[in-house]
Amino acid sequence: MDSLVSAAMSTGTIKDAVIDADSLIILKFMVMSVTHLLIGTVQGVIQTFPEFALWIRATGPAGHMIDPLAHAHINLVGGVTMAIMGLFYYVLPKIIKRPIYSRTLSNTSFWFSTIGVLGFFGSLVFLGIIEGNMILDGMTYLQALDAVGPIHHIAIISTAILMGLGYWIFISNIFLTVFKRRGGD
Ligand code: HEM
Ligand code: HEM
């Protein structure tokens, strides 16, 4: 292994692997996309186990937050659309022969989308489990919501807003790239 690394270093392949700032952003989207897909597919497998599937059905609206809501968004927003964002950032400069308008906007949309979707997923799963257990203890969903308090809406709405901002910043950056030059008109 060591000899492979030193051979690679002497031939320059490791040094060549140092990537530019634009490619680094794309790599971040790709790594985060597959991380979200890993979380979503592991959850998908877990929720096929009969005891979990029954728990989700039995808890009604609370279970609905875990499957399909948390599952759909970690896979579709975190996995699929973040992969598409990375691909757009790779392909668009090749098509229009100039760089993406703003690296700052790319990075901001990356962090808003990542924190937003992980927070949305985490809140839905966490609140779903707490409220689901309250429902199984005999409460109605509304009583469970009352018992949890405003944190339910604060967590879900704030992370949803972050996801939305992540999307809109990405969309703006794509429009700006198509219709304006980086640092120019
Ligand atoms: C190992 C991979 C996966 C497994 C085992 C899995 C499993 C499941 C299960 C058990 C359900 C619930 C079905 C029901 O309630 O009737 C579900 C729903 C769903 N899954 Fe997955 N899933 C996987 C990956 C994915 C991926 C990669 C995506 C998206 C890219 C996805 C998107 C969805 C959506 C959108 C729903 C909700 C469908 C509806 O509205 O009822 N899943 N999945
Ligand atoms: C800012 C971004 C987003 C927010 C805040 C958001 C929020 C929501 C909400 C509140 C629901 C309805 C939940 C319910 O009452 O059952 C929903 C459903 C759904 N969303 Fe999103 N969403 C967003 C983006 C997306 C995107 C981009 C996709 C797909 C690429 C998507 C896929 C879905 C699916 C498949 C459902 C239906 C799940 C089901 O009930 O089977 N969402 N979303």
Taking only the tens place, the pLDDT of each residue in 20-65 is 888 999 999 999 999 999 999 999 999 999 999 999 999 999 999 9
How many Å lie between the centroid of ligand 2 and the Cα of residue 34? 20
Q: Which SS3 state, helix, strand or coil, does residue 142 take?
A: helix
Lowest mean pLDDT among 13-17, 75-79, 164-168, 181-185: 13-17
Confidence of residue 147 (pLDDT cuts 50, 70, 90): very high
Q: CA 179, CA 185: separation in Å to the nearest integer?
A: 9
Query: Is the pLDDT score of 185 beyond 60?
Result: no
Q: In this predicted structure, what is the pLDDT of residue 161?
A: 98
Answer whether residue 77 shows pLDDT above 80.
Answer: yes
How high is the pLDDT of residue 8?
46
pLDDT interval class at 17 (50, 70, 90): low
Given a cut of 70, whether residue 93 has pLDDT beyond it is yes
- How many angstroms is it from 70 CA to the middle of ligand 2? 9
Instruction: Classify residue 1 by its DSSP letter.
Output: -
Cα–chain center distance at 138: 34
Q: Look at the block and give the residue holding tokens 């944190």.
A: 151
Average pLDDT over residues 141-146: 97
C-alpha 78/C-alpha 121 separation (Å) is 9
- Over range 72-82, report the average pLDDT: 98
* Residue with the larger pLDDT of the pair 18 and 66: 66
119: Cβ contacts below 8 Å, ≥ 6 apart: 155, 158, 159, 162
CA of 16 to the centre of ligand 2 (A): 41
Mean pLDDT of 89-109: 95
- What is the rounded average pLDDT for all residues in the chain? 91
Which ligand approaches the C-alpha of residue 74 most closely?
1
64 CA: nearest ligand 2 atom: 16
For tokens 């929720």, the residue is 47
Residues at CB less than 6 angstroms from ligand 2: 68-69, 72-73, 76-77, 80-81, 160, 163-164, 167
